[in-house]
Amino acid sequence: MAELVCVGAIAGAFGVQGEVRLKSFTAEPAALADYAPLSTEDGSKTFEVEITREIKGGFAARLSGVATREQADALKGVRLFVPRERLPSLPDDEYYHADLIGLEVVDTGGAVLGTVKAVLNHGASDLLEILVPGQSRTVLLPFTIAAVPTIDLAKGRIVADPPAGSFE
């Protein structure tokens, strides 16, 4: 099966005509419909998407096969996926979050710091959430050239130069 990437999620019903509230995880949020058909993670359902309007926190949209409020509400929380190869290629210095999650993180001396658990963005810039081996805690690492000088997707690792004290 092709590698799937989550591009959106259904946040519930919008109105009474079967529309859904849709959150987009794409760089250009309105372009979510361009990746259709979108499917559930297990591939059991596939949807064509028509974005009808922008609303607070996302979009109102019509999904193929969803005609009533009850059907739309039943999909609340469903994440929508596309095959990785359907996404556009990126310049050398840009990465999809899905490509970074799970990569091993080592310091400039080669010592293992952890594994990327998530990529977060709270407005200013991206942060890598690093799960420290043998511990339940995570460390947030700025996703900048200074803190993350090397990303080697082929080797499945990131070389980091974290700020002093980050991993103590």
The alpha carbons of the chain give a radius of gyration, in whole angstroms, of 19
Domain range list for the chain: 4-86, 97-160
pTM for this prediction: 0.73
Residues 49-77: tens digit of each pLDDT: 999 999 998 999 999 999 999 999 999 99
CB 158 within 8 A of CB 106: yes
User: Considering the domain 97-160 in this protein, what is its CATH number?
Assistant: 2.30.30.240
Residues 21, 11: Cα–Cα separation, whole Å: 5
pLDDT higher than 60, residue 1:
no
> 23 Cβ partners below 8 Å, 6+ apart?
8, 9, 10, 11, 57, 58
Residues 152, 155: Cα–Cα separation, whole Å: 6
Residues 133-152: tens digit of each pLDDT: 988 889 999 999 999 999 99
Q: Which CATH superfamily is domain 4-86 in?
A: RimM (2.40.30.60)
As a whole number, the mean pLDDT across the chain is 90
